[in-house]
Amino acid sequence: MAIRPIVKYGDPVLHTPAAPVEQIDDSVRALLTDMVETMYAAPGIGLAAPQIGVGLRVIVIDLSVGEDRDQLIQLVNPEFILREGDQQQDEGCLSVPGYGGTPVRPARVEVKGLDPDGVERVYSGTDLLARAFSHEIDHIDGLLFVDRLSPLKRDLMKRRLRKRVREGWET
């Protein structure tokens, strides 16, 4: 179990679609454990494997930020089976620290994937959970919330982010 460094905007792994997990084995379960600990330490409500430099389709979500471990969702190869409606709320990202935006997200989602034991799970979510699923699945698709902003806001933010990348993300 290890807290791993979170990669920042500009790292190629964040902008590349992740590969499906072929088999859930001890290395994938260890990855999930590390992701959960990294998410809680950040602290955040979700994390995708590319955010710790691993190009696999693996996500973790816990809206309670570790307060209620029964809320922890760990999914391998998640995919949407339903997206409906629209919502737009402030959103941030551990890989884009200090920046936020209001991308359009589905108001309601259903997502299926495999749990750490390889059992298929289906989750339904609205509001914050729907946004979290959408945000994390975007990560494994090689997208960031910045890519979902209006063209003008996206271009302005990407210019600022490219400058931060050139500066080495100094704070």
Q: What is the DSSP letter of 6?
A: P
pLDDT reading at 69 higher than 90 = no
pLDDT of residue 165: 87
Identify whether 167 is a catalytic site residue.
Answer: no
Contact 31, 111 (CB under 8 A): no
pLDDT reading at 169 higher than 80 = no
pLDDT of residue 170: 58
pLDDT of residue 78: 98
Catalytic residue among 22, 136, 167, 170: 136
* Rg of the chain (C-alpha set): 15
Work out the mean pLDDT of the chain and round it to a whole number: 95
pLDDT of residue 14: 97
Determine the Cα–Cα distance for residues 42 and 117; give it in Å rounded to an integer. Answer: 26
Contact 15, 158 (CB under 8 A): no
pLDDT of residue 168: 83
pLDDT reading at 171 higher than 60 = no
Count of C-beta atoms within a 10 Å radius of residue 138: 18
> Where are the domains positioned within the chain?
12-166
| 27 CB-contact burial (10 Å; exposed 0-12 / middle 13-18 / buried 19+) | exposed
CATH homologous superfamily of 12-166 equals Peptide deformylase (3.90.45.10)
Q: Tell me the per-residue pLDDT of 91-122, one tens digit each, with 9 for 90 and over.
A: 999 999 999 999 999 999 999 999 999 999 99
Q: Tell me the per-residue pLDDT of 118-160, one tens digit each, with 9 for 90 and over.
A: 999 999 999 999 999 999 999 999 999 999 999 989 999 999 9
Q: Is the pTM of this model over 0.85?
A: yes
Determine the Cα–Cα distance for residues 76 and 114; give it in Å rounded to an integer. Answer: 5
